[in-house]
Amino acid sequence: MHIRAIITLAIALIMGGITAFLVNYYLQKEVSARATSQVIETVPVVVAAADLQAGKALDRLQLKIVEWPKASVPESSYADIGKVLGDKPPVVLTRINRGEIILPYKLSPHGARGGIPSRIPEDRRAMSIRVNEFSGVGGFIIPGDYVDVLHTTALGRVDNRKVTRVLLQNLKVLGIDQVDAEQEGNPKVVNSVTLLVKLDEAQRLTLAQATGELTLLLRNDFDASILQHAVITYKELLSDDPEETRKPVQVYRRERRETPSVEVIRGLEVTKEQVQEGSVPQEQPQVETKP
């Protein structure tokens, strides 16, 4: 009886040891597999070492190289600061925040001059119009905003009464007075606003400014809708129900999208990095009719 108890105890100890070994083995294997799966392959990417203002030429001190997850690196990013700067440094076309990936579409060709000229596309022109405290939205317009332009005139009217029409829509503001930096600031009443326009739009603005009054409408940053509205006359202005006299309009709706971004966590540091706009499909404008 004593021998049987000893044998039973020995078997129990052996089985317990085997069980403990197997549990420990599989736990170590699981931990090792998880550690291996958490290793993310990275590649060097050039980012901004400080906030970069539009219109300023780049230099080496404003750039740095960081390791970036390979799977989320935009195709057109740079891995070498020398390739960004080239023989003659480019000019920043759009404000770049510290830590943001440097992408070609935000830079001018190498050797371009700074200021507004470097930010004008080949098919556009910069044109300044006169504004005051009222026509300039109380000074709340800053470079980088988008505006619509209203034209009030009696030109061509048989009754010689003024009408107001939507002259142009969704124009980008390049500068106010002598300021072209795209940054927030306190409201400032200015005498002129510089807009980015096509050549025919510049002609219309010039003639409209000479034959009537121009008023700017400030748009939401993410709204690029084009609204086709009828001319507003004294009839609509004095009507008890303006909706009855208003003609149907076509509303072309689309949104000005934010530049896509990803969040990167390095230890306790969390940064948001921009990716190339062209890599994200854009929605097609939707057309709806309003009475």
How would residue 238 be classed by pLDDT, with cut points 50, 70 and 90? confident
Give the span between the Cα atoms of 59 and 85, in whole angstroms: 7
Please determine, for residue 284, whether its predicted confidence score (pLDDT) is greater than 50: no
Question: DSSP class of residue 156?
Answer: T
Amino acid at 7: I
Q: In 10 A of CB 32, how many CB atoms? A: 10
Question: Of 65-69, 178-182, 245-249, which gets the smallest average pLDDT?
Answer: 245-249
Q: What is the 3-state secondary structure (H, E, C) of 158-182?
A: CCCCCEEEEEEEEEEEEEECCECCC
Helix, strand or coil, per DSSP, at residue 76: coil
Please determine, for residue 182, whether its predicted confidence score (pLDDT) is greater than 80: no
Q: Locate 91 and state its tokens.
A: 């000019």
Q: Locate 275 and state its tokens.
A: 């990716």
Backbone φ and ψ for 116, nearest 5 degrees, come out as -65, -40
Mean local confidence (pLDDT), 169-186: 77
Question: First-to-last CA distance in the chain?
Answer: 102
Amino acid at 109: P
- pTM of the prediction? 0.60
